[in-house]
Amino acid sequence: MVDLLPHILNGLTLGLLFALIALGFTMIVGVMEIINLAHGSLFALGAYFALSMLGGSWFGDTAFGAWWLSLSVETRYVAALFVGPLLAAIAGMALELCLRPTYRKAPLYGLLLTFGAALVIEEIIRLGWGTGEQNLAIPSAINGPVLVAGFIYSKYKFFAAGFSLLAIVAVWLFLEKTPYGAIIKAGAHDSEMVRALGYDLSKLRLLVFGFGAALAGLAGIVMVPIWGLRPHVGVDVVIPAFLIIVMGGIGSFWGAVAAALMVGLAVGITGAYAGAWATMSMYILLIVVVGFRSRGLFGRKSVLEN
């Protein structure tokens, strides 16, 4: 049983990161009623943007570049944690603009468009950053081993878990305590009502998309040392994100968090027994859950059923 502890910790960390991704995903689904198949790509973009920022490759051989690289890893990392998601948000908003013509059409077109976007973004990543596995330079303060309950664990994973938790709390505060958050929650519940109340629905959609994309991008950056970074990582993320919101219920904040933790744990524990097959456990889990109980844990009929 003790042997399971690191895997459980892994699972929880993964779960918290999944929660971050799922929250952005479920907000988009809730307010816009489309499944953003490109959500994983936004996750990947965040990570790749951070990679370039940290490494300074964008600044090339300029004086700025030189100055930039002279800064400590810590400073650059923190900066990347802000700028990466911001850039992902911009990409997300660009995607939303592309999606506009499809809103009045059958849901198929939005689906095809986000699917196409996912492939296009993956191709852009391949062309811009290469197809190989990449690494993100992380500050030594959060890197390295640490002794926990008699076994060696990764300091970074604690950081990742803690950071995700903070981010989740921040999102919750935003949704509960700010007026914008209230509008988003209302929009997730009933977008027609929100429009009737006089809010600009298109601006709301744009912002929600950007916000969701930022969350995905942030998760992407934090996830790199755990999951690795390669162009395909975007696809690997969309499946658990969807699985989580189906399990947790559309638009449900705590549903997403709870389901995310469950999925994370499932993947983490599978990792204990069948290493390489851990990723596949997500797909199996999706098949089992959606195959048998598509209404999720909270059983509400949702917009997805059309």
Residue 45 identity (one-letter amino acid): L
Nearer to another protein, 6 or 40 (CB): 40
Q: Using alpha carbons only, what angle is made at residue 84 by residues 233 and 176, rounded to the nearest 5 degrees?
A: 95
The CB-of-293 to another protein minimum distance in angstroms stands at 11
Question: Is 127 a residue that touches another protein (CB under 8 A)?
Answer: yes
Query: Going along 100-255, which residue ranges are E strands?
Result: 145-148, 151-154
Stretch that binds another protein, among 9-17, 142-150, 153-161, 298-306 (CB under 8 A): 298-306
Separation of alpha carbons 126 and 132, rounded Å: 9
Separation of alpha carbons 195 and 192, rounded Å: 5
Helix (H) or strand (E) holding 9: helix 5-32
* 296-300 long-range Cβ contacts below 8 angstroms, 24+ apart: 296/245, 296/246, 296/247, 296/248, 296/249, 296/250, 296/255, 296/259, 297/247, 297/248, 297/249, 297/255, 297/258, 297/259, 298/248, 298/249, 298/252, 298/255, 299/249, 300/249, 300/250
Q: How many CA atoms does the CB half-sphere of 41 hold within 13 Å?
A: 19
The CB-of-167 to another protein minimum distance in angstroms stands at 26
Among 79, 235, 272, 297, binds another protein (CB under 8 A): 235
Among 4, 62, 69, 123, binds another protein (CB under 8 A): 123
Question: Is 122 a residue that touches another protein (CB under 8 A)?
Answer: yes
Q: How many residues interact with another protein (rule CB under 8 A)?
A: 40
The CB-of-266 to another protein minimum distance in angstroms stands at 14
Question: Is 130 a residue that touches another protein (CB under 8 A)?
Answer: no
- Torsion angle (degrees, nearest 10) of CA 266, 267, 272, 276: 150
Site for another protein in 59-78 (CB under 8 A): none
Nearer to another protein, 55 or 107 (CB): 107
Question: Is 112 a residue that touches another protein (CB under 8 A)?
Answer: yes
The CB-of-99 to another protein minimum distance in angstroms stands at 9
Nearer to another protein, 167 or 213 (CB): 213
Closest CA to 137 of 218, 24, 247, 53: 53
Site for another protein in 25-54 (CB under 8 A): 35
Nearer to another protein, 193 or 280 (CB): 280
Binding stretches for another protein (CB under 8 A): 35, 98, 101-102, 105, 107-109, 111-113, 115-120, 122-124, 127, 235, 238-239, 242, 246, 276-277, 279-280, 283-284, 286-287, 290-291, 294, 304-306
